[in-house]
Structure 1
Amino acid sequence: MNIEGGCYCGAVRYRAEAEPQMRAQCHCRECQYISGGSPNVIVGLPEAQFSYVKGKPVVFKRSDLDQPVIREFCGACGTPLTSRAPSVPGVVLIKVGSLDKPDLFGKADFVVFTIDKQSFHALPEGVPAFERMPA
């Protein structure tokens, strides 16, 4: 599958030729910060098949955590682009909102961190949901 996307202002673009390894919706509190209050909708692709083709993202990771998630976003417009989590090595987690064709996402395979779900968050029907990451 050919996947392309980038930020709102067009300063950063990426491309991947890969089949998604996972599609997920995350309700953790960190994702709520990054998304502006909503759950984070992501598609996981093999990191080796992903590349930035225009511009470079700003990289952020918390210095107070032992294994922080690395977050990449556009430094000009602030669009969240990807995350790289120690819990899923070798996988880049692309923010579905940054895809040129977000409909490629289809439907989540699972939902995680429902323990942090807000009352205004909706869970997709018929999708396995977990309070935390499944074992």
Structure 2
Amino acid sequence: MSLSGGCYCGAVRYEAGGEPRFKGQCHCRECQYITGGAENLFMVMPSADFAYVKGEPARFTRSDLEGPATREFCATCGTHILTRTPRDTSMVILKVGTLDDPGQYQGPQAAIWTADAQTFHMIPEGIATFAGFPGR
């Protein structure tokens, strides 16, 4: 699969390849902050096949958490592009809204952290749901 995308203002662009390891929907409170209140739609892609082709993102890592994720975003318009987790550096968690063709996502395989979901969040029928992170 070949993906391309970028931020709202066009200052940061990327290309991603390989097959998605997972396509999900996250309802955790942290994702709600990042999205402005909605659930977060994402694709887990191989980091070896991901590259910025225009611009360089700003990065933010919380200093008050053990093993925090790093969020990469456009410093100009604020668009959240991806997340990198120290637990698995072989992947990037790509935000679906940044894809040039969001239709390539084709919907989530599962919804995670549903224990934090708000009453206005929508979970597609027929997908697996997990109150927290699967396997933990």
TM-score where L is the length of structure 1 = 0.97
CA contact (8 A) 2:74 2:80 kept: yes
Q: Whole-Å Cα distance in 1 between the matches of residues 35 and 87 of structure 2?
A: 20
Residue 105 of structure 1 corresponds to which residue in structure 2?
105
CA contact (8 A) 2:17 2:46 kept: no
Q: Is there any run of 5+ residues in structure 2 with no aligned partner, and where? A: none
Change (3 A) 1:40 1:57: same
Computed over aligned residues only, the root mean square deviation of the Cα atoms, in angstroms, reads: 0.9
Q: Whole-Å Cα distance in 2 between the matches of residues 119 and 17 of structure 1?
A: 35
Corresponding position: 1:28 with 2:37? no
Alignment of 1:43-54 (within 5 A): 43-54=43-54
Q: Whole-Å Cα distance in 1 between the matches of residues 113 and 86 of structure 2?
A: 16
1:88 Cα shift? 4.0
Following TM superposition, where does structure 1 have runs of at least 4 consecutive aligned residues deviating by more than 6 angstroms? none
TM-score where L is the length of structure 2 = 0.96
The sequence identity of aligned pairs, in percent, is: 50
Q: Whole-Å Cα distance in 1 between the matches of residues 47 and 56 of structure 2?
A: 16
